[in-house]
Amino acid sequence: MLVDNVREAYPALVDELIPSILTIGDIQKVLSKLLREKISIRDMVTIFETMADHGNYTKDPDILTEYVRQSLSRQITQQFSQNGDTLRVITVGPSLEKKIAESVQSSEQGSYLAMDPMATQTIYQKLNEQVNKQIQSGYQPIVLASPTIRMYLRQIVERTMQDIPVLSYSELEPSVEVQSIGVVNL
């Protein structure tokens, strides 16, 4: 139904995207990943345009989702920074960023995170400390990471803290003021 609704107003876009670039199943995977992280899929035109632009280079739903999130930066910024308020975040320190980047493995099916359980447990503990501090300060906990590790950090966070948003710098509008009120380091 969603595809048909977009097709009514933008038939050329839908015909370009489906099935020559991506299948309905590929699109469904990206949409479900967005919804799982509570990102609205109302702007289907932007979502489809982004998938059409990048679908020739990759079919990996994780990577396509990251591209779509970046295209939805205005919407994501408005979602987390109501009325242009300062966005208070927990940032990822350089040691954690490096550890995650070094733990990414590539295969024919795509890239995945292969991190030892002790490091993962340490990340949970350090992140949980910062999340609790942010909650006690009266702010919604939001984690801000670089675009290269955002999806991998999200995979770690979603196991125990599904409701904590993990954003990347490229998903935020340049006009939003960001204030780090905590850092997660190893």
- Model confidence pLDDT, tens digit, residues 37-92: 999 999 999 999 999 999 999 999 999 999 999 999 999 999 998 777 889 999 99
Q: How many Cα atoms are found within 13 Å in the side-chain-facing hemisphere of 29?
A: 13
The pLDDT value given to residue 154:
93
**Contact indicator for 105, 111 with CB cutoff of 8 Å:** yes
Identify the CA nearest to 23 among candidates 66, 64, 72, 69: 64
Name all domains of the chain by residue range, CATH numbers in brackets: 2-71 (1.10.8.540), 83-184 (3.40.50.12790)
CA 155/CA 158 separation, integer angstroms = 5
Q: How many Cα atoms are found within 13 Å in the side-chain-facing hemisphere of 28?
A: 4
Task: Region of 46 please: left (phi>0), alpha (psi -120 to 50) or beta.
Answer: alpha
pLDDT in tens, 100-152: 999 988 877 778 788 888 989 999 999 999 999 999 998 899 999 999 999 99
* 3-state class (DSSP) for residue 27: helix
